[in-house]
Chains A and B, each alone.
Chain A
């Protein structure tokens, strides 16, 4: 029974299933109740599960995460929504200093199964602070797990797994893909949460991406195929941990790697991937690992975002540069 549904709807269905199957699951955030969230991801949940479980919070992100920690200490499994990527920073202290470290500080006695949902990334013509990709700022912090689905089916299943995780999970939702539809089989048996997937096998070069950039990389592979190049596309799905084994397997075959993300290249996840894959695959690589991403500049005004974000031509350019070695 696979239904075709939009990515946002898939998360909605996944949250609904979690609310139904575990009465400790709570939804919290700004406008998540009656409105159903600014992207309607929580649409209808408060109506069906009540204000006690789907909670409209005061507009205070640190408060949202801080109280979610307290609720988790009491045995709840809060799924909190940060309305937009650029709004997470008031909660950064609670996430980095408290949420991430409590399990270690308590020598394993305290578990904080909190999911922090963050719609992220650009490409929707938004105003300032609504288009950022801050995943690296969280990946640097031990104690957090970070995932980002690229399609509706993964969004559904990864949310299920994130809620079941006894570790805090930052769940980055590719907001520009919210309305992309794909088949979601609610009875499938999902693979491990942090395992990458080969979404297009190829032989000449590996494109590694996650979240919103996977679709772009598939388009790049299509375009490259017309030029006779056979690219492999790897959907990493998880940014912490990163499935280096899968990247390594792919690179040992293709001998070339280009990493694509919307976040700035400098200190981005691509930098870590490049370093580690160079260590692991030094004798296999025919070219240095290349990265395509945002620039070391504030996210630009919407009329310039197409210049800032990786697009078909910029990724193809990197592919050409890699193949030129």
Chain B
């Protein structure tokens, strides 16, 4: 009889209840910060780098990036630049008819690179369909992301190779998978953490609320990382929530924090803090990365129908890449050679992606019947045989 080692669970539990106290305190603190602001103003957000590239001190979060070296800063910059270049290439490939659709991450590079770089190899990531920057951080080859947008597969990479789950198109569903996975991590007594990405639109989904409930009840080691990019296709965040999204966590009993999503250092710090909470048995955390979707929802969308250009221009001034460049330059952490080399690397990446997509073959027609089941299914076998006979009938007529 296998009465599972209740020891691991008990210790996590007790760690959890201890942490629960910390969590409550943290929530209160976050709320207090908000309440301190005058009514009607934006709630305070964690910011370590201003849009002008100035480093701002933060008593609470500085320690999470204290050890970040100039080389690592250049690494974050490189990640963002390459991700943006990849993204631009994919948009261009869609315009050229090589991809059916593309969901651009333009403007959200800091939110994705900062959080992606905060994860550890053994952590597990549950993305939406826009987490190209996070995929980059996890080591998923960018060309792998393009198969589904080209229409040659519906994902297809092995989630377990990089602990990066397949893209999820139905919004919010993956937050429950992340929570379940995290429940499993806790059962295993591992100190890995799980991070679930979703957006401001998905925050309205019942599955997201249920994932908050489950993760809180089971004290699951999961970070809910909401990129509030202000727009769910054409609907502004006001159509999703009457309170700032990070405040939702409070009602579920765990802390929520809003971070400047265009500040890669701030995002790195806050996500590290949240992942550490998860690892040390303190349970779930909600991070709201306040950012902006600079482009359209997807290449099929036309934002000019629902938002003005002034808003975009205002956010352009807060560009995540520009601000880190200003900081790197002002602090002499990067020279012209670095930027020039990166430019060349970007172009090479663009070329590689372009060539890979153009060379991506259509799948064999019998792929329809592949992997429908793990253990097979009589009807699939029967229909595959019928399909084969039908295809063969053309050969009989001297066709292909």
Contacts and interface: CB of A to CB of B under 8 A. Distances in A.
Nearest to A58: B213
7 contacts: A19-B2, A66-B176, A66-B177, A66-B210, A110-B166, A142-B372, A240-B377
Contacts of A104: 154, 370-372
Contacts of A142: 372, 377, 380
Interface residues of B, number: 49
B206 interface: yes
Count chain B CB atoms within 10 A of each CB in A74, A105, A244 and give the residue with the most. A74
Given A23-B4, A49-B4, A106-B166, A67 B370 contact: no
A14 to B, nearest CB: 15
Given A74-B185, A76-B184, A166-B374, A67 B176 contact: yes
A73 B176 contact: no
A24 to B, nearest CB: 9
Interface of B: 1-4, 6, 9, 153-160, 165-166, 168, 170, 173, 175-185, 187-188, 206-207, 210-211, 213-214, 217, 370-375, 377-380
Nearest to B380: A142
Nearest to A72: B180
Chain A's interface size range is: 35 or more
B185 A241 contact: no
Given A52-B4, A66-B210, A94 B173 contact: yes
B375 to A, nearest CB: 5
Given A52-B187, A66-B211, A67-B214, A108 B379 contact: no
Nearest to A52: B9
A304 interface: no
B71 to A, nearest CB: 34
Contacts of B182: 70
Given A62-B206, A167-B374, A240-B379, A69 B4 contact: no
Interface in A106-162: 106-111, 142-143, 145
Nearest to B377: A241
Given A57-B214, A58-B213, A241-B379, A167 B185 contact: no
Contacts of A60: 206, 210, 213-214
B176 A70 contact: yes
A50 interface: yes
Contacts of A23: 2, 4
Interface string A230-270: 00000000001111110000000000000000000000000
A243 B179 contact: no
A52 B219 CA distance: 13
Nearest to B196: A70
Nearest to B379: A241
Contact of A50 (B6, B177, B370, B379): B6
A141 B9 CA distance: 37
Contacts of A243: 378
A244 B382 CA distance: 11
A63 B400 CA distance: 49
B157 to A, nearest CB: 8
Given A73-B180, A166-B375, 20 more contacts: A19-B2, A20-B1, A23-B4, A49-B3, A50-B4, A63-B179, A63-B214, A66-B176, A66-B177, A71-B181, A73-B165, A74-B183, A74-B184, A76-B184, A93-B173, A94-B173, A165-B375, A167-B373, A167-B375, A194-B378
B165 to A, nearest CB: 7
Contacts of A109: 157-160
Contacts of B183: 67, 70-71, 74
Interface of A: 19-23, 48-53, 57-58, 60, 62-63, 65-76, 90, 93-94, 97-98, 101-111, 142-143, 145, 165-167, 194, 240-245
B181 A48 contact: no
Given A48-B3, A240-B377, A74 B180 contact: yes
B27 to A, nearest CB: 20
Residue among B176, B373, B377 with the highest chain A CB neighbour number at 10 A:
B373
A-B pairs, top 7 by smallest CB distance, nearest first, are A70-B180, A66-B176, A74-B184, A67-B180, A63-B210, A166-B374, A70-B181
Contacts of B170: 93, 97-98
A73 B187 CA distance: 13
Contact of B217 (A58, A76, A94): A58
A64 B210 CA distance: 9
Nearest to B155: A105
A109 B166 CA distance: 11
Nearest to A16: B1
Given A66-B177, A243-B378, A58 B1 contact: no
Contacts of B6: 50-52
A268 B157 CA distance: 37
Pick from A19, A23, A105, A194 the residue with the most CB of B within 10 Å: A105
Contacts of B188: 74
B389 to A, nearest CB: 14
A121 B159 CA distance: 38
Among A104, A111, A167, A194: residue with most chain B CB under 10 A: A104
Given A52-B9, A76-B184, A63 B207 contact: yes
Nearest to B213: A58
A72 B375 CA distance: 16
Given A63-B207, A63-B210, A94-B173, A107 B180 contact: no
Contacts of A240: 377, 379
A93 B169 CA distance: 12
Given A19-B2, A166-B374, A68 B180 contact: yes
Contacts of A52: 4, 6, 9, 187
B181 A103 contact: no
A65 B158 CA distance: 22
B195 to A, nearest CB: 13
A74 B181 contact: yes
Contacts of B155: 105-107
Nearest to A57: B214
